[in-house]
Each structure stands twice: as structure tokens, then as C-alpha cells.
Amino acid sequence: MNRLQDRVALVTGSSSGIGSAVAKCMAAEGAKVIVNYASSAKGAEEVVAEIKENGGEAIAIQADVSQEDQVKRMFGAIFDTYGTIDVLVNNAGLQKDAAFVDMTLDDWNKVISVNLTGQFLCAKEAVKEFMRRGVVPERSSSAGSVICMSSVHEVIPWAGHCNYAASKGGVMLLMKSMAQELAPHKIRVNSIAPGAIQTPINRSAWETPEAKAELLKLIPYNRVGIPEDIGKAAVWLASDESEYIQGTTIFVDGGMTLYPGFATGG
């Protein structure tokens, strides 16, 4: 219950879905959690309240992760409150789906700016602090950990979602390049690639029985994921239990990346 004791953890986009579960799971392990949100102050305050009711420590901070001035302001507020940061979970993300020929430049730019540039901007501020402070052995054997929320679509092409798949493919090599560059500083960088997790981002894929039956055809383990599946993986990946894991994507997908169409044919 204290694998992240006294560590300061920022979870971007954690007023809902996967981010809120990651925030709650990390707080349950002793982390002081920053619940970042773009516009849903109410959702963020609910997450903070639930963490506090369970004896944890959390604050909410608004910032659009795609805007450098807002990201810098958020990190300034974190340092004012907690003095430093130990864990960054780059979770904020969105979809703007369209057939390729109908996709507008605005749809493209919006998804790339939040899903990819937002991860770059937040990681840069966190890593600067990890480098300044270095390892604090009482808290962790690494100088800091960045967890990038990727997707099975960092490897699975996705028709009708070219902007989203491109953003997650970009996250994969951003993560690996950072991991290679920052390892000598004892800074850990890894990704989690969720499969289909039941959250607001993909409501249309699970809210009717017909849609859910279609979705389950893609999941060998035969259940849709829940946000806590990702929260548990994120705690482990942030903790010293996974210290020697660097530059890796952990797929948490019930087997979605196992080419399920080949289970009965091919």
C-alpha cells in the first residue's frame, strides 16, 4: 500500500476515465497527486475529494497541456505546493475522428497538439526538475519517472482515425528517444498502451449490446478493460518494482494486439 510513498505524481487529464483511476491508484499507494484538468473543474474536484476521503493527498490544477505557458504555470504551482515532482503520467488525450479525405487541418492539429505536443511539453518540465534534483534514495532509486499513455494504436493502424494513430505512433518514438537520452540520468521513461478501456472517449464502442459484441471480437480475453486495469499497471511502472524497465511499452489490452482474426483462421 505504500509503493509510491511521499512521491509527487502529476496525472494529466485526470478528471475522468483512465486518468482518474491512475490518480486514485497512485494516491492509494502514498503518492501526493496532482489532478490536472483542461475544463472539467467539477470532475477534478470529485477525484480530489474521493482521494482525500480515502486518506490520501491531492490537489487539482487546471492547464491545457498543449499550451506551453499553461504547462509552465502548472509546474510552477506544483513546485510552490510540493517543492518537486517524482512521477509524470502523460495521460491527457482526445480523438477527432474523420475519414481521411474529410479530416480538416484543425482536426489534425488539435489531436497532435494535445496527444503528442502536450506529452512533450509536460515531460520537458518534469525532466528539467528530475535533472536538477537527482535521485533522492529515501523516495526512489530513480531520479524520476515519465509514463506516457499511448494506445494499441501505436502499432495497430486505425482507419478513420489517422490523426489519433499518428499521435500515438509519435508518442512511441518520443518515449523511446527520451528513454535512451535520459537513462544515464537515472530518469525512467516508459509507455502504457491500453486496449479498449470503458471510458467517455470510446462510449459509442461499448454503450449498446451490439457495439459491445463487435468490440469483444477484437479482445481475446473477452472482456472490455476498466480504468483500474491501467491504474494498477501505472502504479507498478512508476514504482521501484519495475526499476530496470526503460523505454518499453506495456500493452494492457486483453490480447488485442495478438491479431485476434487469426485465432480461428489465417
The residues carrying an active-site annotation are 164
Instruction: Assess 202 for contact with ligand NAD (CB under 6 A).
Output: yes
Rounded CA gap, 107 and 169, in Å?
Answer: 17
> 54: exposed, middle or buried (C-beta count within 10 Å: 0-12, 13-18, 19+)?
exposed
Region of 27-35, 50-58, 128-136, 193-201 interacting with ligand NAD (CB under 6 A): 193-201
Q: Does 64 bind ligand NAD (CB under 6 A)?
A: yes
Q: Which of 155, 45, 34, 47 is nearest to 83 (CA)?
A: 34
Contact status, residue 200 vs residue 151, Cβ threshold 8 Å: no
Report if residue 211 touches ligand NAD, rule: CB under 6 A.
no
Binding track, positions 86-115, relative to ligand NAD; x by CB under 6 A: -----xxxx-------------------x-
Q: Which one of residues 33, 143, 189, 196 is an interface residue with ligand NAD (CB under 6 A)? A: 196
Between 87 and 92, CB nearer to ligand NAD: 92
Helix ranges (DSSP H) in 29-117? 41-53, 68-82, 105-112
Q: Considering the rule CB under 6 A, would residue 12 count as an interface residue with ligand NAD?
A: yes
Radius of gyration of the chain (CA): 18
Q: Which residues bind ligand NAD (CB under 6 A)?
A: 12-13, 15-19, 36, 38, 40, 64-66, 91-94, 114, 118, 149, 151, 194, 196-197, 199-202
